[in-house]
Amino acid sequence: MGILDRFRLDGKVAIVTGASSGLGVAVAKGLAEAGADIVLAARREDRLAETAALVAAAGRRALCVRTDVADPADCQRLAERAAEFGTVGVLVNNAGVGTAVPASRETPEQFRGVLDVNLLGAYWMAQAAAAVMTEGGSIVNISSIIGLVSGGLPQAAYSASKAGLFGLTRDLAAQWTGRKGIRVNAIAPGYFATEMSDQYAPGYLETHLSRLPLARPGDPEEFAATVLFLASAASGYVTGTTVVVDGGAVIV
């Protein structure tokens, strides 16, 4: 096997949650270009058609499944449908929500709602996917640099949920890599254009970007390439770690 061959995902099915917009779209497209058939999951099933068209344009099959990752039964159903679609080898836990509410005013419902999707949802999906990864595989949890550093906004729930993914990643890797052949890693992205970044106050993003060594937002294809590395045999000796993709944000 040559070096570039290690990045191929031919014969594999990849599940991508949160595939209706933003970075999930770029990830689905990138994994399809590497040869995987893609199971696209999101609560807004009507938004998945455009992502499915990108997968088809790359010459791969797409299956769209409406999924609320906060519901363990939904996660189980998604994994079962993916297993019927082909050999599940990849799960990208990309679904996420965020709030920017001062801690003194954040309600229990707001806080729990973020954790239910970002942290518990990743756990339920990992459990469900691991059960159908009969030939081993790779789980990639999408965290955030906000789990490592402050973004200057009141984001207690979001920060806690993303920091929790680091611990979840390490523990699942310790449990499953040797016993099940499932590697588990995380990515902590920095500033990329997403629906959440559209909610920033005017000037917020520009101020943060000006301090970065790379002084620009990330390109979604740069993010997708990192996911592909962790999803594929190219990272066959990597498990339980977090790759920071942030233009240098955590060092300034």
Active site residues: 158
- The angle at the Cα of 111, spanning 41 to 241, to the nearest 5 degrees, equals 60
Q: Which residues contact 184 (CB under 8 A, 6 or more apart)?
A: 126, 138, 139, 141, 169, 172, 173, 176, 177, 239, 240
- Classified as helix, coil or strand, 93 is strand
Q: What is the DSSP letter of 116?
A: I
Judged on CB neighbours under 10 Å (0-12, 13-18, 19+), 106 is middle
Residue pair 21/195 in contact (Cβ under 8 Å)? The answer is yes
Task: Work out the number of other CB atoms within 10 angstroms of the CB of residue 219.
Answer: 12
Dihedral of alpha carbons 187, 193, 194, 197, sign? positive
- Joined together, the tokens standing for residue 125 give 């999906």
Neighbouring C-alpha atoms within 13 Å toward the C-beta of 96: 27
Residue 52 tokens read as 């499915």
What distance in Å separates the CA atoms of residue 106 and residue 111, rounded to the nearest whole number?
Answer: 7
Closest CA to 154 of 99, 102, 208: 102
